[in-house]
Structure 1
């Protein structure tokens, strides 16, 4: 059933198909194409590209969250999508909403007409906070400063839409890129030696998913701590409960998407505890840009240069996993200076910024 919006646009609930190549999955495949187009038009880059088969596991509801999906159309043309994720963490107040429209549809009031439907869905599921993460293209001119005192985003069309819609900027993420060339490999090898000297009480362990049984619980604990130990400003950060079963479900989604994910961790030699980790992943083609996913050093193990050690050790081994991948992209909160200092030392450079926004529903 279509929902009329403005300027002749309509919103359409999407039933996520069982398979991306199914006969009835044509609308989903078109959504994947338009999604990639939106990101390319907004950022000028293609690291976010996903095939329909890669996108499908991300949009399917699962034990940890419910995901609602709509497509936006202008006449007969799909111009964007809307996604609302509803985490199932105990007591969660949060709905994570994404409204993505092609720039050709901007300025017609379509986004403003979509927002009440997003809010209605959030309220229907007992949520009182909507959060949104949006990358904004680099631009000169006025900027909005993060209330954390670290970072800013352009006060552009995206920012004006969000502020006029009742959202407040809470945090800024830096998007950084590293060229995987001989210079970067030599630099990371040198830094790895320095980090090893400062962390003699630890060893590096590494695996490509699936996780070995002896590391399942430790890896699950590290993933849980990502939700509490990483900087989150004044956002409502749900404490995620990870266990071995949740890790296995995540691994199944990665396998379904055809993705490779390598985990590099620092293990405390005396206790055997996993103390730090980083993840590097790539898509179905090993030549795509590598994504650095979660990276964390447990608070009780900080001060031994473990973040530098796991990141450099991961980069040193990554060539054997994805020898044709030419770049790594990573996202970090601007106030996370320890991690940004590591990235800068390795050679990552800032390319863009992403705002984390919040709206309290009355």
Structure 2
């Protein structure tokens, strides 16, 4: 078991060990570490620490032999030079340097993953959280953007006929057909910028995400938009935990630029939500997160019945994200 001393002079040690995390999580959950502000934390841990092909790093801060905080970092599927970091400290140890020790440890060792940009975020109902903001600023992170977390009450949703503008929308549960996943790369490139993704990388990442979902007991619901000649022009995905299906998660909805503002995004979301309701009746809410600058998708979500329930503040450390990546 590898132990490294954090350079903060407060007696904290930071343990780098993935296998110890499961035991630590049980302690952290009962101590109220995440409170109600991170209901999805176990999912994140499973996805990036216990799933196949994981490349995450875990950091546990100890004080006097007791675990008081945790941090972890993992690279993105589509841009492995970009990492996402998460830090949490038990309430009784906050304000004593554990969070800073963990954050510095993440920054110092992320280079071993090939990570040159680190992103972190915290979730609050309405106003910016001062301790989290102070930690970010004190460790070199800059505020990069704000996202809105929206929730759809599936019980109050009224059924509506889905109209495909000029083509068709196809929905299914499970893995994507081979002929369609091959077309997913140019769709992603149109949404995230061709400099950031390559065809082989996107296909491998897509299949890896499916494998992770299956290994973690998640069900994937997918809807795609096809043009009149069968070209893939849109994609939307929802994931549901079989062990805890109450809250489903809406993934990224992509539509090729030349087909936007024609009703495809609305059709994709509506079709996939209908599939979710029919196949997962235990699911009560659908949650999605989008940048506050993405006003078209926020308005679309509102028109479908989504309501805002929290804000997420994103911070960046290192090289800035490419301008065409959002």
TM-score by length of 2: 0.84
SS at match of 1:285: coil
1:294-341 Cα offsets, whole Å, 9 max, x none, are 111111211211111111111122112110111111100111111111
TM-score by length of 1: 0.77
* 2:144 aligned to which of 166, 170, 175: 170
Structure 1 residues 33 and 158: CA distance shift in structure 2, 3 A: same
Distance 1:28 1:246 in 2: 25
Distance 1:119 1:129 in 2: 10
Question: RMSD across aligned C-alpha pairs, in angstroms?
Answer: 2.9
Structure 1 residues 226 and 60: CA distance shift in structure 2, 3 A: farther
Structure 1 residues 288 and 30: CA distance shift in structure 2, 3 A: farther
Structure 1 residues 13 and 298: CA distance shift in structure 2, 3 A: same
In structure 2, the residue matched to 1:331 is 289
In structure 2, the residue matched to 1:50 is 42
In structure 1, the residue matched to 2:192 is 227
1:286 offset after TM fit, Å? 5.5
Distance 2:237 2:211 in 1: 16
Q: Provide the aligned length of Structure 1 versus Structure 2.
A: 315
Mapping 1:1-362, distance limit 5 Å: 1-5=2-6, 7-16=10-19, 27-34=20-27, 36=29, 42=34, 44=36, 47-48=39-40, 50=42, 55-59=45-49, 66-87=55-76, 93-125=81-113, 127-139=115-127, 154-181=128-155, 183-186=156-159, 189=160, 192-193=161-162, 196=163, 199-228=164-193, 238-239=196-197, 241=199, 242-269=201-228, 271-285=229-243, 287-360=245-318
1:216 offset after TM fit, Å? 2.0
The answer for unaligned runs of 5 or more in structure 1 is: 17-26, 140-153, 230-236
In structure 2, the residue matched to 1:148 is none
SS at match of 2:157: helix
SS at match of 1:294: coil
Structure 1 residues 82 and 226: CA distance shift in structure 2, 3 A: farther
Check whether the contact 1:279–1:294 (CA below 8 A) recurs between aligned residues.
yes
1:267 offset after TM fit, Å? 0.8
1:261-281 Cα offsets, whole Å, 9 max, x none, are 111111112x21111121111
1:219 offset after TM fit, Å? 3.4
1:27-59 Cα offsets, whole Å, 9 max, x none, are 332234356568x654625641537xx844422
Structure 1 residues 10 and 288: CA distance shift in structure 2, 3 A: farther
The answer for unaligned runs of 5 or more in structure 2 is: 320-326
Distance 1:282 1:112 in 2: 34
1:89 offset after TM fit, Å? 6.2
Distance 1:131 1:50 in 2: 19
Distance 1:351 1:307 in 2: 22
Structure 1 residues 309 and 330: CA distance shift in structure 2, 3 A: same
In structure 1, the residue matched to 2:323 is none
1:132 offset after TM fit, Å? 1.5
Check whether the contact 1:60–1:67 (CA below 8 A) recurs between aligned residues.
no
